[in-house]
Amino acid sequence: AYYHDLAELRIKSLGATEYARKAQADIDAEADRVQAYLAPTTAGLLCGVLQDELVTAYAPDILAISDDGLTQMLDRRDIPALGVLYGLYAPLPEPLGVLRSSVMDHILALGGQITAALLAPGSGETKAPEAAPDAASLGVAAKTAMALRWVQDVLALYDVYDEFFHKSFSEGSSMRSAINDAFIEVINANSRAPELLSLFMDDNLKNGLKRKAEQDVDHLLERSVLMFRFLKNKDAFEHYYKVHLARRLLFARSESDDAEQSLVSKLKVECGSQFTLKLEGMFKDMQLSADMARALRATGEYSDLGFDLNVSVLTPTFWPTLTPAPPQAPPSSQATNAQPGTTSGESSDDPTAIILPHGVLSDSVDAFSAYYLKFHSGRRLTWQYALGNADLKVNFGTRTYELNVSTYQMIILLLFTDSNASGKALTTTEIQQRTHIPEDPLLRQLQSLACGKYRILNKTPKSRDVSPDDSFTFNMEFKSPQYRIRIP
């Protein structure tokens, strides 16, 4: 009765931190008295009664003490106080279960706030997920920014609780599983998690590894895999990751081939060789293509072209269908003029219909096809011009710039070097007729060339949208402080 009444009095007058310290002191004091004055066999029974009266009977109430309960300890990251509280609860299954559930609830609440803030950016109010804008309506930059913010915030929250686990919760297995279970629920409550995680990895592998030491790169990859480990819909992640990896490989956007291979190896450890079979096949295709390019250059058959041609031959079963595939990744900076390849058998255009405006381009395609089929007679090449990119040196009067463009954009620009079209206007319809570029990608490419940040072409009328009757001329007045320009 004494300790029962004392517990009630303390809950009303003390915070959870001080309550835990005093309760532990009482239990230790009784254990000392048993050792000094009573038979050792009474120690377990006496301490059990004390723990029941001071802890088990009031386990939820102690954690819920206003102004100084578990929530406040977690929010102010009071590692010593949490350690005392855990030491009091850990020996007792029922109180430990209450502590475990309360910690999980706190993680879920904070994780929900992170996702809600993500879905309602720039707003002080949270919105329900169904009120958020459709992910498909967001541009590449907006979706990448969303991915970086969400993954970084979730990982930052995980770091806090991982520190609690090591420094306050004595690395107890029950608390480890509670923390992991809570983060599994937080991550998978966001239906966009597979895509956002893949975008996070994509951005870091393209831009986030610059000037990083090897151990920092490995740490970044480990944290990415940590999020992947908690993800339930790994098939959806694989779909997005394959598309993003394909674009990094085809457009040479990766900062480090070693980092790419290392991440795939880590995914293989998590999910087995079947999960990464196609990813590894993509790397193999790129390596074989590079070897073939060196062998072809050694023959001297390209020496008269006047430009470098780099072709990637892709095994259809390994690669995703990249066209059309939002979001469109901008072409990367490469010292090549074209990079067609095969995809999974579907294409947004008829490969035989695209018209290359200069004979030398057609000759280079024919030369490569003849060389390849000489060694692989039973195969068929399907050229995917939608996946290529080119580096062009373009003269604008007395100024010269190097433009990194898609293959479609290259084909369009070369129309304006034709002696029959030089200085003349070409309509959207005329460009389509002379190139056979499908309508949707043609409109996008013309919009990038004439309505974007770098206006290589002049458009009449001057509007953001492109229509069949709009006309285009080469912009001889184009100026830029940059010599090398990437056209998105």
Print pLDDT tens along the chain (488 aa). Answer: 688 888 888 888 888 989 899 988 888 887 777 777 767 777 667 777 878 888 898 899 999 998 889 999 999 999 999 999 999 999 999 999 999 999 999 999 999 999 998 876 554 444 444 444 455 556 788 899 999 999 999 999 999 999 999 999 999 999 999 999 999 999 999 999 999 999 999 999 998 888 788 888 999 999 999 999 999 999 999 999 999 999 999 988 898 999 999 999 999 999 999 999 999 999 999 999 999 888 888 887 777 777 888 899 999 899 987 543 333 333 333 333 333 333 333 333 454 478 887 677 888 888 888 888 888 888 888 888 888 889 999 999 889 999 999 999 999 999 988 645 556 899 999 999 999 999 999 999 999 999 989 999 999 998 889 999 999 999 999 999 999 999 98
Q: Quote the pLDDT of residue 322.
A: 54
Closest CA to 193 of 234, 222, 253, 221: 234
**pTM check: above 0.85:** no
Supply the pLDDT for residue 332: 32
Which of 127, 120, 110 minimizes the C-alpha distance to 183?
110
How far apart are the C-alpha atoms of 343 and 314, rounded to whole Å?
Answer: 6
pLDDT of residue 421: 53
What pLDDT score was predicted for residue 364? Answer: 85
Q: Within a 10 A sphere around the Cβ of 277, how many other Cβ atoms?
A: 12
pLDDT of residue 350: 53
Look at the chain and count its residues.
Answer: 488
DSSP assignment of 183-207 equals HHHHHHTSTTHHHHHHHHHHHHHHH
Query: What are the CA-CA distances from residue 452 to residues 120, 132, 441, 462, 488 (Å)?
Result: 28, 28, 15, 12, 8
Give the pLDDT confidence score for residue 358 in this predicted structure.
66
Please, which residues bridge with residue 391 across strands? 404
Q: Which long-range contacts (CB under 8 A, 24 or more apart) does 137-140 make?
A: 139/327, 140/327, 140/328, 140/329, 140/330
Q: 327: cis peptide before it, omega within 30°?
A: yes
What contacts 24+ positions apart, CB below 8 Å, involve 292-296? Answer: 292/372, 296/368, 296/371
